[in-house]
Amino acid sequence: MNDITNKSTSRREFLKNTGRIAAASALATSIGPRVYAAENNTIKVALVGCGGRGTGAASNALSVKNGPMKLVAMGDVFENRLNSSYKSLKKNHGNQVDVPTGRRFIGFDAYKHAMDCLSPGDVAIFTTPPAFRWVHFTYAVKKRLNVFMEKPVTVDGPTSRRMFRLAKEATAKNLKVGVGLMSRHSRALEQLYKRIQDGEIGDIVLQRGYRMHGPAAFFRSLPKPPGISDLLYQIQRFHSFIWASGGNFSDFNIHIIDHLCWMKNAWPVKAQALGGRHYRKSPEGITYVDQNFDTYSVEYTYADGSKFFLDGRCINGCENIYSSYAHGSKGMAIVSKSGDCGMPSSTYKGQNTERSNMLWQSKVKREEQNPYQNEWNDLMDAIRNDKPYNETETGVQTSLVTSLGRMAAHTGQEITYDEILNCDHEMAPGLDKLTMDSPAPLQADADGRYPVPQPGIIKKREY
């Protein structure tokens, strides 16, 4: 597959062309084929990736109130995960779940079979590990399907260039695409964004983001047990492997990176970072084999010279901080009070968050307080009312900027946006050709250990 850009692509050229691309996209939308659901007004949904996030996304889809929806197909590489998801969704949504055994597909081609159960204008949900996003999105665009895909949507430069191209193809076909960066659908953050853009805290000169807590999800992994292939083990525990997910850095930190770049209304042009692996043995003394660092600290720099500092940590017994802040020339804002987009957001005069300095605090209607549901309500409104809606490009930008910070930490080098975008290292090529018998993208040594980043030693790629 050809890349969207060649090696001479620069961020400056990309941004310069953004206006022309937007205008061309708008024209394509206005003259392109109009894609609607079937005549009975029921929109069919296929779920590809049936883990916890996929089950949650499908539940949000079936909870949209502006028209009938039905889940008709499911696909995964793990049968037990698909069966568990089906039971949960059937219990909670009853007749909206119409997925007989003949429409439950297992294997690396399950995504095709699931989407083949849909018609143009229906919706495919992609909640597999991010490495597979371009594979599934390619087929959805070909089938003229609307899409909801989870974040991150890329983990390296080559797949980012590929997804930028697919974003244009989706717009040209008038497809609606949502990306699971739910912070952008937080009504509190929408209110804060408007206030910041209106100058309430002045020009943003500094941002801070923190996600520091104990080990979570598949952050760390022990050597592969018997009875499962290396490939399936790495997919099952995708947070542990950079090729599959961008590791814990990308999966855990992307929301804070996304919403702070949104508040700044800009993307960083470079990053330098550090990190380390501190606790690498289980209580039983077995060495963990994942690729993650236990700590990360990234300094992003914007084109205007202002800084964005991001700290991530997965260590028990340390101070837990999970919030984000924007400092302006006239005041400051608490962007997320707790979590990825925790309400309320607030602004202050000066740089002190004392109550007496508060200028404003967000207020959100009860029915709009769940950003996961908001993003589905917004997507389905665009589908049913034929509104322009394609979040792919923003999703790729956020994923790329996240990978920029991760690569800086893993190499020990200052990395520019242009360098990560045009980097040759595709961590897992050929994912569209995988079978159950394929070798894993990452190979373990004789002790069952996988390659890990070595800052200062391996400088041009992450491992």
Q: How far apart are CA 339 and CA 364, in angstroms?
A: 17
pTM of the model: 0.91
Q: Is the pLDDT of residue 6 over 50?
A: no
What's the mean pLDDT in 337-344?
97
Sign of the CA dihedral 306, 312, 318, 319? positive
Q: How far apart are CA 407 and CA 412, in angstroms?
A: 8
Which among 437, 434, 357 is positioned nearest to 111, based on CA atoms? 434
Residue 297 burial by CB count (10 A; 0-12/13-18/19+): exposed, middle or buried?
A: middle
Q: How far apart are CA 193 and CA 264, in angstroms?
A: 9
**Res 35: pLDDT:** 44
What's the mean pLDDT in 75-96?
98
What's the mean pLDDT in 233-258?
98
Cα distances from 148 to residues 227, 314, 383, 449, in angstroms, run 33, 29, 12, 35
**Res 40: pLDDT:** 78
Which helix (H) or strand (E) element contains residue 211?
strand 204-213
Reported as a single tens digit per residue, the pLDDT across 270-313 is 999 999 999 999 999 999 999 999 999 999 999 999 999 999 99
216, two tokens: 């979570």
Reported as a single tens digit per residue, the pLDDT across 151-161 is 999 999 999 99
What's the mean pLDDT in 326-337?
98
What's the mean pLDDT in 434-458?
95
Across 41-140, the runs of DSSP E, i.e. the strands, are 43-48, 69-76, 104-106, 123-126
**Res 39: pLDDT:** 52
What's the mean pLDDT in 431-441?
97
Reported as a single tens digit per residue, the pLDDT across 212-221 is 999 999 999 9
What's the mean pLDDT in 242-253?
98
Q: Is the pLDDT of residue 1 over 70?
A: no
Q: Is the pLDDT of residue 11 over 50?
A: no
Domains, in order of start, for the chain: 11-183+372-390 (3.40.50.720), 185-369+401-433 (3.30.360.10)
4 vs 111, residue with greater confidence: 111
Task: Using the structure block, give the residue that is written with the tokens 């055994």.
Answer: 101
**Res 28: pLDDT:** 39
Q: How far apart are CA 452 and CA 291, in angstroms?
A: 5
**Res 447: pLDDT:** 86
Task: Using the structure block, give the residue that is written with the tokens 């993307």.
Answer: 267
**Res 9: pLDDT:** 41
Sequence letter at residue 104: R
142, two tokens: 């070909």
83, two tokens: 């069966």
Q: Do the Cβ atoms of 27 and 186 come closer than 8 Å?
A: no
What's the mean pLDDT in 31-44?
60
The pLDDT confidence band at residue 25, using thresholds 50, 70 and 90, is very low
> What percent of the chain is predicted at pLDDT more than 90?
90
Q: How far apart are CA 391 and CA 175, in angstroms?
A: 11
- Per-chain mean pLDDT for the chain: 92
Please state, as a whole number, how many other Cβ atoms lie within 10 Å of the Cβ of residue 401.
Answer: 22
What's the mean pLDDT in 55-72?
97
Which among 158, 173, 162, 114 is positioned nearest to 138, based on CA atoms? 162
The pLDDT confidence band at residue 33, using thresholds 50, 70 and 90, is very low
> What percent of the chain is predicted at pLDDT more than 70?
92
Q: Is the pLDDT of residue 17 over 70?
A: no
Q: Is the pLDDT of residue 128 over 70?
A: yes
What's the mean pLDDT in 313-319?
97
DSSP state string for 165-193: HHHHHHHHTT--EEES-GGGG-HHHHHHH
